[in-house]
Amino acid sequence: MNTVVERESTRFYVTQADYEALLLSSNASLIIHCLPNNNNHPKGRYTIPNKYARQFIESKQGTHNWANHENFKQDSIPVGLEDFFTQL
């Protein structure tokens, strides 16, 4: 069983595949390495415990972008996830 679901992105970015991986591995944390190019997101890493990652993703499911692309992205640190972000 995986202990992390991990991705690298230029901003905060989660997908339906991330959500499904978190469901399959209830002990896995979501780790997102943010390496921005020319956007507003600071360089750093999110380490989000499974429960909080799933709750956040569930709050975005049903939005326009999720319905069309099955993802959520943001050029800044999402509200509610500030404590899980470490700036590098």
**Secondary structure E strands in the chain:** 4-9, 12-15, 29-34, 44-48, 71-74, 85-87
Closest by alpha carbon to 9, among 55, 43, 59, 51? Answer: 43
Write down the mean pLDDT value for the chain: 95
Which band of pLDDT confidence, cut at 50, 70 and 90, is reported for residue 51? Answer: very high
Bridge partners, residue 8, by sequence: 33
For residue 1, the model assigns a pLDDT of 60
**pLDDT tens by residue, 7-40:** 999 999 999 999 999 999 999 999 999 999 887 8
CB atoms within 10 A of CB 66: 18
% pLDDT > 90, the chain:
92
For residue 40, the model assigns a pLDDT of 85
When pLDDT is averaged across residues 49-64 and rounded to a whole number, the result is 96
- Which CA distances in Å does 14 have to 61, 78? 11, 12
